[in-house]
Amino acid sequence: MKDNGSIEMIRSYPSPNPNVVLHEILYWSEGLRVKGLLAKPKKEGQYEAMLYLRGGLQSIGMVRASRIAQFASQGLVVFAPYYRGNRGGEGRDEMAGEDRFDAVNSLEILKKYANVKEVHLFGFSRGGLMALWTAILRDDIKSVVTWAGVSDVTSMYMERVDMRRTLKRIIGGSPNKEQEKYDERNPLLKIDMINAPVLIIHGTEDENVSINQSYDLEHKLMDEKKKVETWYASGLTHHYPPDVNRKTVKALCEWMKTL
Count the alpha carbons within 13 Å of 164 in the hemisphere toward its beta carbon.
10
Among left, alpha and beta (phi > 0; psi -120 to 50; other), residue 228 is: beta
Of 125, 155, 210, 214, catalytic = 125
What φ, ψ does residue 252 adopt, rounded to 5°? -70, -35
Q: Does the active-site annotation cover 238? A: yes
Non-local (6+) Cβ contacts of 225 within 8 A are none
Q: Does the active-site annotation cover 29? A: no
Of 6, 23, 174, 238, catalytic = 238
Any alpha helices (H) in the chain, and if so which ranges?
Answer: 65-72, 100-114, 126-137, 153-159, 164-167, 175-183, 211-223, 242-257
Q: How is the beta sheet containing 76-81 ordered, strand by strand?
A: 7-13, 20-29, 32-41, 76-81, 48-53, 119-124, 141-147, 198-203, 228-233
Amino acid at 169: R
> How far is residue 36's CA from residue 52's CA, in Å, rounded to a whole number?
10
Non-local (6+) Cβ contacts of 90 within 8 A are 32, 33, 34, 84
Are 125 and 145 in contact by the 8 Å Cβ rule? The answer is no
CB atoms inside a 10 Å sphere around CB 46 = 9
Task: Cite the active site residues.
Answer: 125, 238
